[in-house]
Amino acid sequence: MPFTVNPIKFGTDGWRGIIAKDFTFERVARLAPVAARVLAEETKGKSPLIVIGYDRRFLADKFAKVAAESLQEAGFDVLLANSSAPTPALSWAAKQFNALGALVLTASHNPPEYLGLKVKGAFGGSVAPSVTRKIEVLLEDQPQIQAKTTGCLDLFDPWQGYCEVLRSKVDLFPIQAALESGKLQLFVDVMHGAAATGLTRLLGPGVREINSAVDPLFGGRAPEPLPSNLEELFHTIKTARAQSPESLIAGLIFDGDGDRIAAADGQGNFLSSQVLIPILIDHLAQRRGWTGEVVKTISGSDLIPRLAKLYNLNLFETPIGYKYIADRMLTTPVLIGGEESGGIGYGNHIPERDALLSALYVLEAVVQSGQDLAIYYSLLQEKVGFYSSYDRIDVPLSSLEAKENLKTKLIQEPPVLVAGQKVIDCLAIDGYKFRLEDQSWLLIRFSGTEPLLRLYSEAQNQETVNRILDWAKDWASLAT
């Protein structure tokens, strides 16, 4: 039976497709020079240099080589990574080498059958949607052009400059000392992804990595830092806790391309960035004394604005997607910007989410406070008098038509009651966020490419969160 090849369309962070179906060598060879031409238009006056990097996915290095060769033929000079590396390392390389930008062969946290391509600008972050739209248009309209002269291709180590810049941002010695003395036990689940070896390079042999081997199947799971994918890490931490009841223990988790982070406390409990971002705000503002704007997406915890207010920091709220945070970083002094899915970045670095830098700041907070991450978070809640639980679920829909029906329903007949609570406000900058009379909230969003409903909720306790999410699932079922 013939299959349909999906068009090259860029989503919230790049183009992704199934290997050998949508994502082919031919399409990458066609796409790379077009993307480079658009980057050149965006950064007039720079030398025609493009950085190419890749993650650990099946054939990612081969796709990167094809992209590099197609860029050479189109007259661009290329710096090709000599090993897999986290996406933020390639973003940094674009800035470090004064390049037009970077093309990164990665599908991030998607299942193993996917590969993708991310486009990074000269400033070291994701390009705006207007730029990727130009790429899509040129792909449709512009014939492939053979340059009069071919470009140069050189290999480079993507880890060297990246580790150097991270070392300049963090005081590593106290963390290293805590690891060497045994005061801190650190377990890191790299999920077979590109962040493997990263913290060991920075902190030394005290780092204990889990799932660090190259595995194109990612252990049979998508390399996404969700509790259902992390049983081995949780078990390892609980075993270490039983053996060392008084130790300070922390777990860190990186997604497939090393730009998103999650954590585990010393009891082996999952901590999302809804917990980590407040801890990082407190650490950077209180202990380091840094200032700047706090940028959050609409799905971020209500604890974030309360901490921003406590430390007299301006707050800015964006739609979901790190590109919106990055855009803000390009125009405004930002302390920290983060999203609930684990992407966190800093105004003292490039406008890019960076899981390894986040990990180092989290470890700074643990070592300097001497507190378990869960205790640290509970003390923050106590400090501002705000206690909550949070969860997110994805609900598959029967078809794209069902998705459109739900969108119409939300526009024409938005709910006035949610799980028995009166709706007092609705924010529609990205999906529909319903604020309820008890100050809990429900966010309803749709996948841009799939028949999928995304539901988010924060409330005073987990029971209420579950009730709100169950109501939303029932509403969606009845509405379609």
Core vs surface per residue 206-239: b (16+ CB within 10 A) or e: bbbbbbbeebeebeebbbbbbeebbeebbebbbe
Instruction: Please tell me the distance from the alpha carbon of residue 104 to that of residue 176, in angstroms, as a whole number.
Output: 31
The pLDDT of residue 144 is: 67
Residues 259 and 407 in one domain: no
**Position 7 in a domain:** no
- Asked if 56 and 196 touch (Cβ cutoff 8 Å), the reply is yes
- Cβ-based neighbours of 53, under 8 Å, separated by 6 or more: 64, 80, 81, 84, 85, 87, 89, 90, 93, 102, 103, 104, 105, 158
Residue 351 lies in a domain: yes
Do both 352 and 209 map to the same domain? Answer: yes
Is 410 a member of any domain? yes
Boundary of a domain, candidates 368, 384, 400: 384
Tell whether 334 and 309 lie within a shared domain: yes
**pLDDT of 1:** 46
- The answer to whether the pTM exceeds 0.85 is yes
2 within some domain: no
Same domain as 175, residue 156: no
User: Structural domain tally of the chain?
Assistant: 3
Amino acid at 225: P
Q: How far apart (Å, rounded) are the C-alpha atoms in residues 184 and 165?
A: 24
Determine the Cα–Cα distance for residues 450 and 437; give it in Å rounded to an integer: 32
- Burial class from Cβ neighbours inside 10 Å (0-12, 13-18, 19+) for residue 289 reads exposed
Question: What CATH code is carried by the domain that includes residue 435?
Answer: 3.30.310.50
Which of 360, 384, 408 is where one domain is finished?
A: 384
Do the domain assignments include residue 165?
no
Is residue 8 included in any domain, yes or no?
A: no
Ranges of H-type helices in 74-157: 87-96, 129-141
- Within this chain, do residues 373 and 238 fall inside the same structural domain, yes or no? yes
Residues 146 and 232 in one domain: no
Q: Output the tens digit of pLDDT for each of the chain's 480 residues.
A: 456 788 888 877 789 999 999 999 999 999 999 999 999 998 887 789 999 999 999 999 999 999 999 999 999 999 999 999 999 999 999 999 999 999 999 999 999 999 999 999 999 999 988 999 999 999 887 666 677 788 999 999 999 999 999 999 999 999 999 999 999 999 999 999 999 999 999 999 999 999 999 999 999 999 999 999 999 999 999 999 999 998 899 999 999 999 999 999 999 999 999 999 999 999 999 999 999 999 999 999 999 999 999 999 999 999 988 889 999 999 999 999 999 989 999 999 999 999 999 999 999 999 999 999 999 999 999 999 999 999 999 999 888 888 888 999 999 999 999 999 999 999 999 999 999 999 999 999 997 667 889 999 999 999 999 999 999 999 998 766
> How many whole angstroms separate alpha carbon 404 and alpha carbon 451?
9
| Domain span at 188 | 170-384
Contact (CB, 8 A) for 119 and 133 = no
Do 407 and 266 fall into the same domain? no
Buried b (16+ CB within 10 A) or exposed e, 401-440: ebbebbeebbeeeebeebbebebeeeeeebbbbbbbeeeb
Residue 441 within a domain: yes
Instruction: Report the CATH number at residue 145.
Output: 3.40.120.10
Q: Are residues 250 and 341 in the same domain?
A: yes
Instruction: Kindly calculate the radius of gyration of the chain based on its CA atoms and give it in whole angstroms.
Output: 22
Helices vs strands, H then E, count in the chain? 15, 21
> Are residues 251 and 174 both part of a single domain?
yes
- Final residue of a domain: which of 349, 384, 419? 384
Is 376 in the same domain as 469? no
